[in-house]
Structure 1
Amino acid sequence: MLFEDKYEIIRKIGSGSTSDVFLVRDRKLKKRWAAKIIGIYSGGGTDCRVKQDAAREIQILTQLDTPGAVKIIDVFEDSRRICILTDYIHGISLLAYIHKYGPVFEQTAAKWLLQLCGTLDYLHNMMPPVIFCDLKPENIMLKDDGKLTLIDFGAAYQQHSDVSPGIWKGTIGYAAPELCHGTAVPDIRADIYGLGVLGYFLISGLEPKQVEKLKDYSGHRIVSRKLDRILSGCLSENPGKRYKNCEHMAVRLRQFLRKADF
């Protein structure tokens, strides 16, 4: 059965360098899913790198069982494309949220980061560990119930797999320096770096290239010293000086939230 025989494309909802994402409807069940359609044919033949990346993404998705990440539903492949169907998440991306409503309060940012710490801790404790590698706000959906979900595992890797330094698919600004410079393969500390950048973005609305302005924006401090110390613990150039794992960061966030509630 062809993809179009089973699913009706409703509209395009996203795009990437090698893929487009569509909202689709199951013609028989009438359920809606998100379909990531990856082009694997380039010029004279199949793009082996793109096909290999898609296979890795599918392998990771099939192992996931957590409310903090999308669930894979179906896979279709032909000579020109691979189609990955996942849950369609009702909500808004964190990027769209900040653009629409502006920066959030520190307590809100801390609660969201704490949620993400839980999801990433689940990924990092899989065997082998899964490194998300692309914690940009476009890849994080805020659902109608207030929970966060990671939606795009196209850049994710399984630690200790056949990944060489310099081969990564993250986003400049959110990606850890060792990935951008090609000096190391991803490990859990790369995701911790991404959490720090994301935290500053949520509080300030500033893009990563403007991080140096976070201490003072229009003459007003936009992040408290207490939260700044937590976030800066993610952002050392040296991975060994960041939090050793997400639970370590989560402990600091819980302490911050307990004090903020008084």
Structure 2
Amino acid sequence: MESLGRYQLKRMLGEGAMSQVYLAYDPKLQRELAIKLLKPEFAQDAQRVELFLNEIQLSGRLHHSNIVSIFDVGQIDEVHFILMQHFESRNLESWFCDHPDLTIEQSLRIVVQLLKAIEHAHAKGIYHRDIKPSNILINDEGLVQLTDFGVAYLNESGVTDDTFVIGTPFYMAPEQLQGHRPTAQSDLYSIGVLLYYLVFGKLPFQASTLKDLDELIQRSEVDLESKQIPPSLKKVIRKLLHKNPAFRYQSATELLKQLDALNAELRSDGKLLNFHISTAWRNTGIVALCFGMLCAALLYLTVNQLSSSLRNTLVSYGDMFVAQMHDHLAEPVLLGDSASMNAIINRFSAADEILYVHLVDNEGRYMASTDGVDAGSYYQAPAGLSRLQLDSQYDVFHYPVDLSGSEIYRFSSRIQYADSTLGRIYVGIKSENLDGIVNKTLFYLLSFILLICGLVVAVVYLIYRYFFKQIKVLNDALQSLYAGNFYTRLKVERKDEIGALKSQFNDLAEQLENFFDQPRAATSADDVDSVQKNSPQAAEVPIEADKTVILNLNKGIEG
């Protein structure tokens, strides 16, 4: 078909179950329009014609930037048509195929515009009933418009037949599939399915037949763990997809306020590092830090005490060494016997710990030395010499050897004979052996402490992980209850506090299930029999993800 009346049909924009949409040109007004044509095979079907014309009757009441405007309706050569605003765009279904990795912010921007559209429609008492990607248009600037009000429901008596269930099953609320009248909560459920689809890239419930799909929608819990999303967004989706409409958002306005708060939260979180530590690891880290600090303090005290004890041992050894040398050197120094002095200091300095021995007269000149210094030259004290305040009968100094941290302990004593001072003796003792003992002790103690810390951390983490795993199980079960799955039960395997908590949860779930089942029990036997025989969930027919169907509660599926 190239034309319809004065309208020139350029190309097809899309096709649905009952109609085709073309890009048309109106030469009289010299503008492009979108024209929707009822398919010829439905031209004589009164019910299809009524649904087709229902769009102009309802959309004509709506004037909103996020709703496609309807201009006119008519019939030419038995072809029913609707003239609409041409919106240079694509439907969300094809657009999403090219943009599968939407950010949460992008998904929310789309949903917010849709909510503004249905907020306007709901204010007029109109429920769309068929919100899905193919009925949503989006352009390159991100402007969204809702279209196809052909199956919309006007909340006025006598406008639609309540014996029909119309919509796309994958996007229909549980109560819609059961034949209840559409409400604002039904449209919000469809918004929840759409939001889930945009965020997770898949539908919340998928099945090949209407019966299986209905079973999933009525009883299964939506999976919100396949992708990491903010908890507040999970809460929004879970509330939108609640089985009981009374527990969903009560209006699009309420949901818009919630999404505004969620957007503000996401902007705030975006300024922070996206880094999360689980509670089990965080608490384990705190325990490990406290235990490690305690062990470090004990290690410091132990090593410090050991170092102090070894230093006292070295000082005692130095005192004994100097005292023995004093007794042997007093007479040779008095007699000026340099050969005996050299022999004595060489014999005593043979020990590995002794670095040097110097004999100096009262004027500070060498009399003998293990370093081979010429006699008569003046003695110079080492650089960095520092006195130690120790319990010693001699003067004890220490100074560093090099940058490695090794030190030399210098013992100094006057050489006296019969109350006369004949000179001084200087003895240098190395601390390398003591440092080695301290370092080895530190290494072994540190290794032992690290091993103990590792074991403590592992045990504490396993204990925390067990308890937090049980808490997560309870949390998931509570979320399931929140979603309306009152048949949820927990397996009780232990007779401890956790087991008692699970038992209490099961009692609560049972009471809630009985409470919400009471209205069903009050239904008359005839009504129950009617639902079992004629409800759409009894239909075992294949369904397509984006196809609108008409379910006759008296006859079954019609298309």
TM-score, normalization by structure 1: 0.89
Residue in structure 1 matched with residue 62 of structure 2 by the alignment? 64
Note the 1:60-99 alignment, pairs <5 A: 60-78=58-76, 80-99=78-97
| Structure ranking higher on relative contact order (CA contacts 8 Å, 6+ apart) | 1
Distance in 1 between the 2:87 and 2:151 partners?
19
Contact 1:10 1:23 in 2 (8 A): yes
One-letter amino acid of the counterpart of residue 136, structure 2 = I
1:124–1:26 Cα change, 3 Å? same
Aligned with 1:223 (options 226, 229, 249): 229
Residue pair 1:71, 1:87 contacting (<8 A) in 2 also: yes
* Pairing 1:165–2:162 present: yes
Listed as ranges, the gaps of 5+ residues in structure 2 are 207-216, 269-559
Q: Could you tell me which residue of structure 2 aligns to residue 38 of structure 1?
A: 38
Structure-2 separation of matches of 1:57 and 1:28: 25
RMSD: 2.0
- Show CA shifts across 1:137-179 (max 9, x none): 1111112332210121112111124334341331111111211
Could you say what secondary structure the match of 1:247 adopts? helix
Aligned to 1:146: 142
**Identical pairs, percent:** 27
Residues 84-114 of structure 1 deviation map (CA, whole Å, 9 limit, x = unaligned): 0101111222211211111311111122212
1:214–1:222: 8 Å Cα contact kept in structure 2?
no
Give the secondary structure class of the aligned counterpart of 1:169. strand
Give the Cα separation in 1 of the matches to 2:121 and 2:13.
26
Mapped partners of 1:62, 1:215: distance in 2: 39
1:178 is aligned to 2:175 = yes
User: Residues 27 and 214 (structure 1 numbering): CA distance in 2 closer, same or farther, change over 3 Å?
Assistant: farther
Q: Give the Cα separation in 2 of the matches to 1:93 and 1:178.
A: 27
- In 1, the alpha carbon distance for the partners of 2:97 and 2:197 equals 11
2:5 alignment partner, SS class: helix
Offset, 1:214: 4.2
- Do the aligned partners of residues 165 and 5 (structure 1) sit closer, same or farther apart at CA in structure 2, a change above 3 Å counting? closer
Describe the SS at the equivalent of 1:178: helix
1:119 & 1:199 partners in 2: Cα distance?
15
Residues in 2 aligned to 1:213 and 1:119: alpha-carbon distance in whole angstroms: 26
Structure with higher Rg: it is 2
Contact kept? 2:153, 2:182, Cα under 8 Å: yes
Which is further off, 129-138 or 104-113? 104-113
| Equivalent-residue separation in structure 2 for 1:168 and 1:224 (angstroms) | 35
- Bigger drift between 22-31 and 162-171 goes to 162-171
The one-letter amino acid paired with 1:169 is I
CA distance in 2, matches of 1:245, 1:105: 25
Paired with 1:244 and 1:166, the residues of 2 have a C-alpha distance of 25
My pick for the range that moved more, 74-83 or 14-23, is 74-83
Whole-Å Cα distance in 1 between the matches of residues 78 and 147 of structure 2? 23
Q: Identify which of 234, 247, 251 aligns with 1:245.
A: 251
TM-score, scaled to structure 2: 0.43
Contact 2:53–2:150 (Cα < 8 Å) also in 1: no
Q: Letter of the aligned partner of 1:123 in structure 2? A: A
Structure 1: where are the runs of 5+ without partners? Answer: none
Stretch deviating more after TM superposition (163-172 or 114-123): 163-172
* 1:213 Cα offset (Å): 7.2
> What are the within-5 Å matches in structure 2 for residues 168-207 of structure 1?
168-182=165-179, 184-207=180-203
The aligned counterpart of 1:103 is 101
Partner of residue 18, structure 2: 18
Change (3 A) 1:214 1:38: same
Structure 1 runs of 4+ aligned residues shifted over 4 Å read 210-214
Tell me, in whole angstroms, the C-alpha distance in 2 between the residues paired with 1:189 and 1:216.
24
Q: Does the CA-based 8 Å contact 1:173-1:209 persist in structure 2? A: yes
Deviation (angstroms), 1:240:
1.1
For residues 166 and 108 of structure 1, the distance between their equivalents in structure 2, rounded to whole angstroms, comes to: 39
Q: Is this contact kept in 2: 1:166–1:181, CA < 8 A? A: no
Q: Which amino acid aligns with 1:21?
A: V
- In 1, the alpha carbon distance for the partners of 2:119 and 2:243 equals 22
Pairwise CA distance, 1:134: 1.0
- The question of whether the paired residues in 1 share the 8 Å contact of 2:128 and 2:149 is answered with yes
- What is the SS of the residue equivalent to 2:101? coil
- Say whether the 8 Å CA contact 2:129–2:167 is kept in structure 1: yes
Aligned partner of 1:257 among 258, 263, 279: 263
- Which residue of structure 1 aligns with residue 405 of structure 2? none
Following TM superposition, by how much is the alpha carbon of 1:208 offset from its aligned partner in structure 2, in angstroms? 4.1
- Matched residue, 2:4: 4
Rounded to whole Å, the distance in 2 between the matches of 1:192 and 1:252 is 13
Q: SS of the residue aligned with 1:168? A: strand
Give, in whole Å, the separation in 1 of the partners of 2:123 and 2:258.
20
Alpha-carbon distance in 2 for matches of 1:175, 1:213: 14
Compared CA separation, residues 103 and 170, structure 1 to 2 (3 A): farther
Aligned to 2:123: 125
Taking the aligned partners of 1:206 and 1:151, their CA distance within structure 2 comes to 22
Q: What is the one-letter code of the residue matched to 2:52?
A: A
Alpha-carbon offset, residue 79 of structure 1: 6.2
The answer as to whether partners of 1:40 and 1:47 remain within 8 angstroms in 2 is no
Match of 1:170, as an amino acid? G
Change (3 A) 1:180 1:103: farther
Structure with greater helix share of residues: 2
